[in-house]
Amino acid sequence: MEKKISHKSGISGNLTVPGDKSISHRAVMFGAIAKGDTKINGFLNGADCLSTISCFREMGIEIEIDSNSVTVHGNGLHGLKAPQNILDVGNSGTTMRLLSGLLSGQNFTSQITGDSSIQSRPMDRVCTPLKQMGAKIYGNASGCKVFAPLKICGAPLNGICYTLPVASAQVKSAILLASLYSKGKTEIIEPIPTRDHSEIMLNHFGADISREHEKIISRPVEELHSREIYVPGDISSAAYFIVAATICKGSEITIKNVGVNPTRTGVITVLKNMGANISISNEKTVCGEYVADIHVKHSKLRGTTIGGKIIPTLIDEIPVLAVAAAFAKGKTIIKDARELKVKESNRIKTVVCELKKFGANIEETDDGMVIIGKENLSGARCESHNDHRIAMSMAVAALAAEGASIIENKECVDISFPEFFDYIERL
Ligand code: S3P
């Protein structure tokens, strides 16, 4: 299906965005292996998080979905049952990789796979450390690469000391989940910090995870204990409106109750460096996570360079940052972002290809892209590539571009933000 979006002179008002995807996944997973009932308020009802729920139901966990919350009836660390069917993660990389770690330490065999995008994304990054821990995990091998489907035969695990070769919170979290079932302590060295929702939430449930500079240390505990969780709004979803309000003249919005964990706020840092008018208020801590309101007014942007350690803190926001850069004065260089090639689509290629249709001056590089901003872009017919973040980023470009645009294959926004186009209509 396609969606027509016309130029908007400005957006205004207060809004909230759906719950954080990373935190929603983790709340279901950790709730399932904790003892007792975990009520999750503000759970993201997106397709990815629903895939996580269906995988745990398949392993005997009762999960109730209400309009405002999800309740997971946890069975404790050793309470999962052998699945009767192949676990299907759909399009969700987070489910695939975190579950691989969790399944490695169970006393049963399981198989796990997902859609065609998942089957083309690298899984060796989780299989390598898990095998070092003793996991018996087999996938579709192609040279040194491993792809889903994976077969995981539960095995006794041992703690390891592992340096992450790619900055990936999914890999770190897979190892942390396996560490809960391992003998001895596990140490993960993270040269470039990545989102730390797993460490925060696991500790909230009673795990023993500490950090010494670059090193994260996990020591096994007897049990995890259920807790009520409040999921903040997803900053990755808020980013579309932050950029839209910045580049559409006359805009002024406040997005309430957004997660502002510093491992996720690179998008705000970069936009401010580019001259955006963004302020944060009402900061508080909820379930160990920083939450705040974000106020944004239209402003003129200038080009910048985005690279180095900030990349993991804004990796999912690069498509929409590229849109901001396409309207900024001067040159923006995005580098050190090779990871974009192995997301739901090759986001270096898909962003460059789609923004060119709007007339943007943008070129692909080996590890990112170079954009020379323009005053105006013109409406275009563009394609989501079945990647939710591409669909939503192009919708933001469409709001600011002259004339009307069409987004083809728009339904992929269901992955992380099912009501996205209703929000666009309302604004
Ligand atoms: C996520 C980590 C990131 C991010 C993804 C969600 C997570 O992936 O891009 O959308 O919830 O841990 P990587 O671990 O591959 O960087």
Provide residues with CB under 6 Å of ligand 1: 22, 94, 168-170, 173, 195, 315-316, 339
- Of 122, 175, 179, 172, which Cα lies nearest the Cα of 148? 122
| Ligand 1 centre distance from Cα of residue 134 (Å) | 24
| Ligand 1 centre distance from Cα of residue 423 (Å) | 25
Beta carbons of 58 and 87 less than 8 angstroms apart: yes
CA distance to 25, 258, 301, 355, per residue, from 10 (Å): 34, 22, 16, 21
Beta carbons of 226 and 36 less than 8 angstroms apart: yes
- As a whole number of angstroms, the distance between CA 427 and CA 421 comes to 10
- Of 293, 180, 286, 173, which Cα lies nearest the Cα of 228? 286
Residue that is written with structure tokens 């919170």 in the block: 169
Task: Count the neighbouring beta carbons within 10 Å of the beta carbon of residue 101.
Answer: 30
Taking only the tens of pLDDT, the chain with its 427 residues reads: 999 999 998 999 999 999 999 999 999 999 999 999 999 999 999 999 999 999 999 999 999 999 889 999 999 999 999 999 999 999 999 999 999 999 999 999 999 999 999 999 999 999 999 999 999 999 999 998 999 999 999 999 999 999 999 999 999 999 999 999 999 999 999 999 999 999 999 999 999 999 999 999 999 999 999 999 999 999 999 999 999 999 999 999 999 999 999 999 999 999 999 999 999 999 999 999 999 999 999 999 999 999 999 999 999 999 999 999 999 999 999 999 999 999 999 999 999 999 999 999 999 999 999 999 999 999 999 999 999 999 999 999 999 999 999 999 999 999 999 999 999 999 8
The one catalytic residue among 316, 366, 414, 422: 316
- As a whole number of angstroms, the distance between CA 194 and CA 262 comes to 10
Which ligand 1 atom is nearest residue 167's CA? 16
Which ligand 1 atom is nearest residue 316's CA? 9
| Ligand 1 centre distance from Cα of residue 122 (Å) | 13
Judge whether 336 counts as a catalytic residue. Answer: no
Beta carbons of 148 and 139 less than 8 angstroms apart: yes
- Of 334, 411, 424, which Cα lies nearest the Cα of 47? 411
Beta carbons of 71 and 38 less than 8 angstroms apart: yes
Which ligand 1 atom is nearest residue 172's CA? 14
CA distance to 45, 111, 121, 409, 415, per residue, from 50 (Å): 7, 18, 20, 20, 9
- As a whole number of angstroms, the distance between CA 33 and CA 56 comes to 10
Q: Which letter, b or e, does each residue of 256-274 get, where b requires 16 or more Cβ atoms within 10 Å of its Cβ?
A: bbbbbbebbbbbbebbeeb
Please give the pLDDT value at position 427.
Answer: 85
| Ligand 1 centre distance from Cα of residue 377 (Å) | 31
Pocket probe for ligand 1: among 20, 21, 22, the residue whose CB has the most ligand atoms within 8 Å is: 22
| Ligand 1 centre distance from Cα of residue 300 (Å) | 30
- As a whole number of angstroms, the distance between CA 26 and CA 423 comes to 26
- Of 98, 113, 111, 112, which Cα lies nearest the Cα of 202? 98
| Ligand 1 centre distance from Cα of residue 70 (Å) | 22
Residue nearest to atom 10 of ligand 1 (CA): 316
Which ligand 1 atom is nearest residue 168's CA? 14
- Of 295, 299, 311, 287, which Cα lies nearest the Cα of 367? 311
| Ligand 1 centre distance from Cα of residue 313 (Å) | 10
* Burial (CB count within 10 angstroms: exposed 0-12, middle 13-18, buried 19+), residue 130: buried
Pocket probe for ligand 1: among 94, 95, 102, 314, the residue whose CB has the most ligand atoms within 8 Å is: 94
Residue nearest to atom 13 of ligand 1 (CA): 168
| Ligand 1 centre distance from Cα of residue 264 (Å) | 11
Please give the pLDDT value at position 102.
Answer: 98
Pocket probe for ligand 1: among 195, 231, 313, 321, the residue whose CB has the most ligand atoms within 8 Å is: 195
| Ligand 1 centre distance from Cα of residue 343 (Å) | 9
- As a whole number of angstroms, the distance between CA 245 and CA 252 comes to 6
Q: Read off the pTM.
A: 0.98
- As a whole number of angstroms, the distance between CA 321 and CA 235 comes to 13
- As a whole number of angstroms, the distance between CA 385 and CA 408 comes to 8
Residue nearest to atom 16 of ligand 1 (CA): 168
Pocket probe for ligand 1: among 97, 168, 192, 347, the residue whose CB has the most ligand atoms within 8 Å is: 168
CA distance to 174, 247, 249, 288, 299, per residue, from 276 (Å): 36, 9, 12, 28, 6
- As a whole number of angstroms, the distance between CA 168 and CA 91 comes to 18
Please give the pLDDT value at position 68.
Answer: 83
